[in-house]
A = this chain, B = another copy of it.
Amino acid sequence: MLLKENIPLKYVFGKIKYEVLLVAVYTLFIVLLHSQFKLTNMEIPLAVPMIMGTVISLLLAFRSNQAYDRWWEARTIWGAIVNDSRSLSRQILSFIDDQEDTVLFREKLVRRQIAWCYALSQSLRGLDAKEGLERLLSKRELAFVSKYTSVPMALLELHARDLNYALKQEWLNEYQQVELDRTLSRLCDAMGKCERIKNTVFPATYSLYIHFSMNFFILLLPFALIQNFGVLAIPMVVAISASFLLIEKMAIHLQDPFDNKPTDTPMTAISRNIERDLKQMLNDHQIPESEAVYKYYVM
């Protein structure tokens, strides 16, 4: 229940205030027309919007489901990124012995994995993927990465090259190298899945159709209510249409979970947690201070 207290009504209805105002004015206009000119043949039976209401409700439920699934899949993929980042570090630190000549190598890979998370998060938001990575990557790594369209993919390639090097140095045995490569493949899958959600828009014709039908339904509503309610039809129409408008807004909101809005998947916060966990494995307890990211996480 905590959540409810934190989010004011204003926030929820702020998203649809212009639409609701428009609906109110429109209904007022219909009501005036009806009462002034006694146009009783403007009245339509409630059964007409009811038939449409059922099919629109089902379609909004369908759309909410798909939008929620996209949002939840995005969250699940980032959950998998957390798991695989931890597993990769655990494997690197336990497979490769802690010797004088490997200590820097091990640290380099773990820090690069942290950089990978930030870079993926930035590039999904359409921002510069290399921003802020200087503290985690060497100059050589940054130079290598800058030749690629996809920075995270380039970092995975560097991982793979280093693992081959470690195999050559006999820091890893043959099974361990292949096992670590599998973890890279899972990270590569996670990256590709995020891109798929980002690049595949919800079928636009569906959203358009639902949008038009819903608005048509709202336009019909006053005609069905003026007979019984007169001027009281206005709050009725506003109430019913607000419900439908809000659900559509929520679906639009959830369906694009990587869109650089304050309420999308909290990729920066997750990346910071990964940084904290992986640095602790390196016995480095100097973690960047966690900004109050969750404060705005109301979605």
Contact between B48 and A157 (Cβ–Cβ < 8 Å)? no
A273 CB → nearest B CB, Å: 9
Q: Which residues on the B side are within 8 Å of A44 (C-beta)? A: 228-229, 232, 236
Q: Does A26 make an interface contact (CB < 8 A)?
A: no
What chain B residues lie within 8 Å of A76 (beta carbons)? 196
User: Is A28's CB within 8 Å of the partner chain B?
Assistant: no
Q: Would B246 and A209 count as touching, CB distance under 8 A?
A: yes
Among A101-109, A110-118, A130-138, A210-218, the stretch in contact with B:
A210-218
Report yes or no: B243 in contact with A52, Cβ–Cβ below 8 A.
yes
Number of copies: 5
A261 within 8 A of B: no
Map CB proximity to B onto A169-181 as digits: 1 under 8 Å, 0 otherwise.
0000111111101
A-B contact pairs, 12 of them (CB 8 A): A11-B205, A50-B50, A52-B243, A59-B64, A83-B188, A91-B181, A94-B163, A173-B174, A174-B174, A178-B179, A205-B253, A209-B243
Q: Contact residues of A with B, CB < 8 Å? A: 1, 3-4, 7, 9, 11-12, 15, 41, 44-62, 64-66, 68, 71, 75-76, 78-80, 82-83, 86-87, 90-91, 93-95, 97, 147-150, 153-154, 156-157, 160-161, 163-164, 173-179, 181-185, 188-189, 191-193, 195-196, 200-201, 203-209, 211-213, 216, 220, 225, 228-230, 232, 236, 239-240, 243-244, 246-247, 250, 252-254, 276-277, 280-281, 283, 285, 297-299
